[in-house]
Chains A and B, each alone.
Chain A
Amino acid sequence: MIRFVDVQKTYANGVQALKGVNLQINDGEFVAIIGLSGAGKSTLLRSINKMISITSGQLFIDDAEISSIKGKDLRMLRRNIGMIFQSFNLVKRMTVYNNVLTGRVAYHPTFKTVFGLFPHEDKILALESLDTMGILDKAFTRADQLSGGQQQRVALARALAQKPKLILADEPVASLDPITTVQVMDDFARINRDFGITIVANMHHVDLALKYASRIIGIKDGRVVFDGPSAAISEAKLVEIYGRALKHNELLGE
């Protein structure tokens, strides 16, 4: 469970990205964050696994306040949280299998991981995660030889290998073509449903967000202007979030 209490974030250059955010996200939800570029979506998402540190307020993950944790505790926090990036962020020259294994590094002592000595269970887990994502046959191919959709699935497998309770996704389908986009979003939905993993995703395409997420958070200018079930959002509210009528490229179209 994630809880934001009056969270603010001001960057070193003076930009105020978050201005007093109050939120609670419960286990098992599928939440989509929508808003204009620069509204604060990325900052909000990355403060959850402390890739970005908040300037004031409190952030609770499972009732533990995280603004002061660092070092080993921080890594232990992160190993339970999976993160999916827009540009996949795989290690291009490594095989798919090795990429997924990197999800396990925080679970073992440095010495063993640096020499590639992962326990047998981890190796099985990595392959099973790949199987869940339907790309087991690509296990020993180099990551950069896969298509965009396949690479994002590898990223998802990596996240699954962490056995996380929560997966954060920063515009996960923005780099994919429309058909692959639907496939990957279906994967997210399946993971949420079958494994009960909480999903918090920044979405660029509003109609996708409405279709897949059970709950929508609308951000404008660093503040939450909408927080409720996706069925409850109105056209007017969308105009408010985006400050104008939605543009063509913010809708995936059917």
Chain B
Amino acid sequence: MNRVQSVLSKKPKKWIANLLFVLAISALLVYSFRNTSINPMRIRSIPFLIGNFFNGFTEILWDALLGYGEFRFVESITYLALQTLAIGFFGTLLGSILAVPVSFLAAENVVGKRVAKVGTFFLIVIRVFPEIILAYILVKGIGGGPVTGILVIGIHSVGMLGKLFAEAIDSMDRSSIEALDAVGANTWQKIRFGILPQLMPLMSSIALYRLDINVRSATILGAIGAGGLGALLTIFSDPPAWSILATIMVAIMVMVMAVDTVSSYLRNKLV
């Protein structure tokens, strides 16, 4: 019994660390409420607010949505949604193409540890730079519109895509490349028949995942002038015009759910 008791008493006291962890998180949480205040009148109006929100959906402006009556199609919200989709699509495409060479430079398997560290660092910098600020700079610097939006999303995506691509490269199976060596293939042939068939499905899957995120991003970036629905959203947010907001949200819902479904379906087929 004594031996067991002594082992028990030597058991690492993890609960202290856990407790400290929870305390720290909670303390910070409480601190984050500093300087906040609640307006009781506003609180009383919450049900009214929620009612307005849902009510907006009953008053959808179909002509603005679909582009008939007073609105031409190119002024309709559906058209803007298409535009947003286009920005997300091309942005992801651009980002994927740019990310491929960079990801090779960040993959230890290919270029060795030292070069890979530089590549990874470069990718981290791109990733950390906030998208909105990039959008702001480019809109002011180059001009606004969908093309700028594509550039912003494209450049920013390189960060995350590059990192995930590099991880895919690092997890490659070398055995088929060995066989190609034995058959007398040169470097290009080894890439085409050994590396590409493994990486293409993986990279496409990663890009499709990113497409989902980028379309949502594109929806918001419009506020800064990068084209798409964003501008419309922010204009009608202050003060909130619920019926228009609901109309826009319907378009967004359809668009995002479509992209989500297609993306999930294709990703399942690729693996």
Contacts and interface: CB of A to CB of B under 8 A. Distances in A.
Question: Do A and B originate from a single complex?
Answer: yes
Interface of A: 49, 51, 74-79, 81-83, 85, 87-94, 98, 102-103, 105-106, 110, 113-114, 155, 158, 162, 168
A75 B198 contact: no
Nearest to B182: A83
A106 B188 CA distance: 11
Given A91-B193, A93-B197, A106 B185 contact: yes
Given A91-B198, A113-B192, A114-B189, A105 B184 contact: yes
B178 A105 contact: no
B176 A92 contact: yes
Contacts of A85: 175, 178-179
B183 A93 contact: no
B194 interface: yes
A29 to B, nearest CB: 20
B75 interface: no
8 contacts: A51-B181, A79-B183, A87-B175, A90-B179, A102-B193, A105-B184, A106-B189, A114-B188
B186 A110 contact: yes
B201 interface: yes
Contacts of A155: 179
A79 B184 contact: yes
Interface residues of B, number: 20
B173 interface: yes
B185 A105 contact: yes
A247 B201 CA distance: 44
B104 to A, nearest CB: 17
Nearest to B191: A114
Q: Which of B182, B186, B193 has the most CB of A within 10 A?
A: B182
A47 B194 CA distance: 22
A93 B201 contact: yes
B179 A114 contact: no
Shortest 3 CB-CB contacts between residues of A and residues of B: A106-B184, A78-B184, A79-B184
Interface in B194-234: 194, 197-198, 201
Interface string B152-174: 00000000000000000000010
A70 to B, nearest CB: 12
A52 B198 CA distance: 26
Contacts of A98: 193
B255 interface: no
Nearest to A101: B193
A110 B189 contact: yes
Contacts of B178: 51, 85, 89
A86 to B, nearest CB: 10
Contact of A89 (B175, B185, B186): B175
Contacts of A51: 178, 181-182
A144 to B, nearest CB: 11
A75 B182 CA distance: 8
Contacts of A103: 183
B147 interface: no
B179 A49 contact: no
A158 B183 contact: yes
A92 B184 CA distance: 19
B173 A105 contact: no
A110 B191 CA distance: 11
A114 B191 CA distance: 9
A102 B183 contact: yes
Nearest to A85: B179
Nearest to A79: B184
B138 interface: no
